[in-house]
Amino acid sequence: MYQETLQSLGLSPNEAKIYETLVGAGESTIGDIAVAAKVHRRNVYDSIQRLIEKGLCFEIFSNAGNLFSAVDPGKLSELVAEKQEKLQLILPELQKKFRKGTATEEAYIYRGLEGQKNVWRDILRVGKDSYFIGAKGGWFDPRLDKTARDVFFREANRKKIKFIQLFDYEVKEQMPDFPHYFPGDLKYRFLPKKYSTSSGVGIFGDYVITYTGLGVIGRINENTVFFILHSKDLAESYRTWFWYMWEQSEEDKKKKA
């Protein structure tokens, strides 16, 4: 256990063995260390020097011969803190490089109720306003984990994410009270009845999500497939089309002021 932990802190296998030996044995000669740590004598010299450079060991000069002793193990915590400080210095630049190197266009798939929870995580991660064309109230499917939904809306509200949604006309008929208890910052209208479909499109940030197989109002089918497209140009185009459809759609006459 000690060896694995010490090595995880940046010590080589020999350094870890020697340091643990010195912690337990106290002041020791090179020969004593080699025997106790089971490290070849010629390798002990190099490892001892590296431990001294790391501040984990020091040399004691005496007439009887040079001895070596371990520094208090509390020094290990200092090493961890020093590494953390060094990491914090380069982390911002690494994150910039990561974002620059992240694929600007990609596609992947989610499915079913778990897929919807993944979409929520993506919306929170991106932290941008969420648009939806052909919304059907499926986010409130009773089979979806209520805790996960509550956490999603709580975090979305904290991040000030707005939800601008074009609902299918049937939502007005089958879920008449639904928009009024939506727990997020919601703006909505209804698409004309003749344009209702079994699909939907969500847009947030640089992402477009196409839902297929949304056959029932207020439900997400286990066979629903979410096609996620990551493309800045595509997302901007969909938002442009969204606002055109928004202007052609009907406001809720019962909407609360």
All domains of the chain in start order, with CATH: 2-75 (1.10.10.10), 104-248 (3.30.870.10)
**pTM of the complete model:** 0.59
CB proximity list for 75: less than 8 A, separation 6 or greater = 55, 56
Which pLDDT belongs to residue 21? 86
Helices 13-25 and 41-53: crossing angle, nearest 10°? 80
Helical ranges in the chain per DSSP H:
2-8, 13-25, 30-37, 41-53, 74-101, 112-126, 146-158, 169-174, 232-248
Q: Where are the alpha helices (DSSP H) in 159-248?
A: 169-174, 232-248
Contacts of 110 (CB under 8 A, 6+ apart): 116, 118, 119, 225, 226, 228
How far apart (Å, rounded) are the C-alpha atoms in residues 13 and 4? Answer: 9
- pLDDT tens, position by position, for the chain (257 residues)? 678 888 888 888 988 888 888 888 888 888 888 888 888 888 888 888 888 888 888 888 877 678 888 888 888 888 888 888 888 888 888 877 776 665 567 889 999 999 999 999 999 999 999 999 999 999 999 998 889 999 999 999 999 999 999 999 999 889 888 878 889 899 999 999 999 999 999 999 999 999 998 878 989 888 899 999 999 999 999 999 999 999 988 887 665 44
Take residue 111 and report the two structure tokens written for it.
């499915």
The CA-based diameter of the chain, rounded to the nearest angstrom, is 100
> Residue 147, SS3?
helix
* Angstrom distance (rounded) from CA 233 to CA 210: 16
| 2's tokens | 């000690």
CA distance 252 to 169: 10
Type of residue at 103: A
CA distances from 138 to 3, 162, 175, 252 (A): 53, 18, 11, 19
How would you classify the pairing of strands 105-111 and 225-231? antiparallel
Q: What's the alpha-carbon Rg for the chain, to the nearest Å? A: 31
The DSSP output letter for 215 is -
